[in-house]
Structure 1
């Protein structure tokens, strides 16, 4: 790997994570139900990624086997559930806190890998899980996590677990399958799942919400995935993991600039513990946002 490739990959990854960190603001500003937001994101994301794959000549042959197509659909179900829970978490807690709690997903991946695949858990990894859990408890402190805030944090935890499921499913896919193809099937699965649940009365009317929704579909899905997958090809795994922490940093900054929300001292300590646990304990764990799995963020 050349220094030029590394520099390009770093810039691409930072750009993708910066986009991820602004997703929550666009979701809330759209004023639409979560069903509508995820549906439009899936429609425009599938369209944009499909056209991009066609432009790159990736549809010249059918890329799926029956088994890989079924695994992609299963991953799509988990991914759509991931988006639904995360976007709801923004409403019930905050963009910043939901995003930080969501970043406990590498630990859920470790635990699910142990339970479902029999993967070994070292003392170091178990200690990292404990540190991250302590950090989460500091974020969900008495008074801060009560009522709706607690519900938002539980939804974010569900999001993290579902993303770990998406990652485990992605391990069943052939490495020759292009990430764009996987993302197309996953988003098309979302279109089919969510069509019956639309709030048509609020969605199919002219309004400013279409600008936010179009940005989520074309920028935060199509463009972000393209940039992110390009970064994955340029960067070693540990760089991807470290740069991924710019995502919650941007989300916290957006939360402050847009809504004036600040973490108190204990919550900030909790965030730092979660970050430290990832950096220290999971250095050799494959990053959950691998090219074979669509980035949920989101």
Structure 2
């Protein structure tokens, strides 16, 4: 393996670990700040840092008027819905349940490509769907998962995040004509700013409650998953095939679940392990199908790759 590919693999591992650790990290922040406000502050802070970095590298932050509708759709589906709904779901369900449900988005993309783009799902898509459904059913088969309305709301929010992200990718397949860092800064900023507004109006956060571990969690969310990891993700994409990079990102829900078990004490046994194996195998099949040249770009290759 040449040096460029070695660096690409190293960047992928940094990205996967940084995004995976964000799942249990969010749980600490949610102990003192409500979900939308917490995610919005971290996202807007990261967007400002990415914008400054883009300017330092000579990237223009100018957005032509003609692409604002596309930018808005991308920000809504891949940031506001994805990050916002997924974060709220963590108040109601475990990290393992949320991560696995949210990372099912490539399967929904394959299914949505049929009515939206006339791409009929083949055998690969049906097998992927069957594996993913089996994994989700196994994961939610524990009594605690179906204990009440709150848990089912959490499941619904996580699935909504995955479906909306997939819909945005299929309905809007053309990349924004912006430089990578500038694009990410705008999409993350536009998607997260409304979360702060909604948080202030409806959640009424206690700003002085942010101390200790929660403050460290906010700093980590801002600097690592939404800052450093985007840089390493772009670095990996420049050195490795997109399909390989995207499938490797299936490490994120796996490592996120394992880290939540170690850090938060979340349960991880045969049921959780079997659910991960089934669902991630299905997602891998979906990603392999979506990476074919005739298809649009892979959902996981989106510059606002979810963490």
- Could you say whether these structures have the same fold, taking a TM-score greater than 0.5 normalized by the shorter chain as the test? yes
Choose 177-186 or 17-26, whichever is displaced more: 177-186
Q: Does 1:236 align with 2:238?
A: no
Q: Is the 8 A contact 1:128 1:282 kept in 2?
A: no
User: What displacement does 1:48 show?
Assistant: 1.0
The aligned counterpart of 2:288 is 283
User: What displacement does 1:168 show?
Assistant: 3.0
User: What displacement does 1:3 show?
Assistant: 2.2
The aligned counterpart of 1:143 is 143
Consecutive unaligned residues in structure 1, runs of 5 or more = none
Superposition map of 1:162-181 within 5 A:
162-168=164-170, 170-174=172-176, 176-181=177-182
User: What displacement does 1:281 show?
Assistant: 4.8
Give the root-mean-square deviation of aligned CA atoms: 2.1
User: What displacement does 1:167 show?
Assistant: 2.3
Superposition map of 1:142-161 within 5 A:
142-146=142-146, 147=148, 148-161=150-163
SS in 2 for 1:91: coil
SS in 2 for 1:177: coil
The aligned counterpart of 1:194 is 195
Report the CA distance shift for 1:272/1:168 in structure 2 as closer, same or farther (over 3 A).
same
SS in 2 for 1:119: coil
CA distance in 2, matches of 1:159, 1:116: 18
Q: Is the 8 A contact 1:71 1:173 kept in 2?
A: no
Report the CA distance shift for 1:71/1:269 in structure 2 as closer, same or farther (over 3 A).
same
Report the CA distance shift for 1:170/1:37 in structure 2 as closer, same or farther (over 3 A).
farther
CA distance in 2, matches of 1:192, 1:266: 38
Q: Is the 8 A contact 2:33 2:205 kept in 1?
A: no
SS in 1 for 2:246: helix
Superposition map of 1:83-102 within 5 A:
83-102=83-102
CA distance in 1, matches of 2:7, 2:15: 12
Q: How many residues align?
A: 292
Q: Does 1:271 align with 2:293?
A: no
The aligned counterpart of 1:38 is 39
CA distance in 2, matches of 1:108, 1:7: 32
User: What displacement does 1:169 show?
Assistant: 5.2
SS in 1 for 2:120: coil
Report the CA distance shift for 1:202/1:116 in structure 2 as closer, same or farther (over 3 A).
same
Consecutive unaligned residues in structure 2, runs of 5 or more = 292-297
Q: Is the 8 A contact 1:41 1:217 kept in 2?
A: yes
Report the CA distance shift for 1:257/1:195 in structure 2 as closer, same or farther (over 3 A).
closer
The aligned counterpart of 2:58 is 57
Q: Is the 8 A contact 2:46 2:185 kept in 1?
A: yes
Choose 190-199 or 221-230, whichever is displaced more: 190-199
Report the CA distance shift for 1:160/1:48 in structure 2 as closer, same or farther (over 3 A).
same
The aligned counterpart of 1:134 is 134
CA distance in 2, matches of 1:181, 1:133: 37
Q: Is the 8 A contact 1:125 1:282 kept in 2?
A: no
CA distance in 1, matches of 2:72, 2:113: 21
CA distance in 1, matches of 2:210, 2:35: 18
User: What displacement does 1:161 show?
Assistant: 1.0
Q: TM-score, normalized by length of structure 1?
A: 0.89
The aligned counterpart of 2:9 is 10
Superposition map of 1:191-270 within 5 A:
191-197=192-198, 198=200, 199=203, 201-203=205-207, 207-208=211-212, 209-270=214-275
The aligned counterpart of 2:117 is 117
CA distance in 1, matches of 2:272, 2:204: 39
Q: Is the 8 A contact 2:41 2:196 kept in 1?
A: no
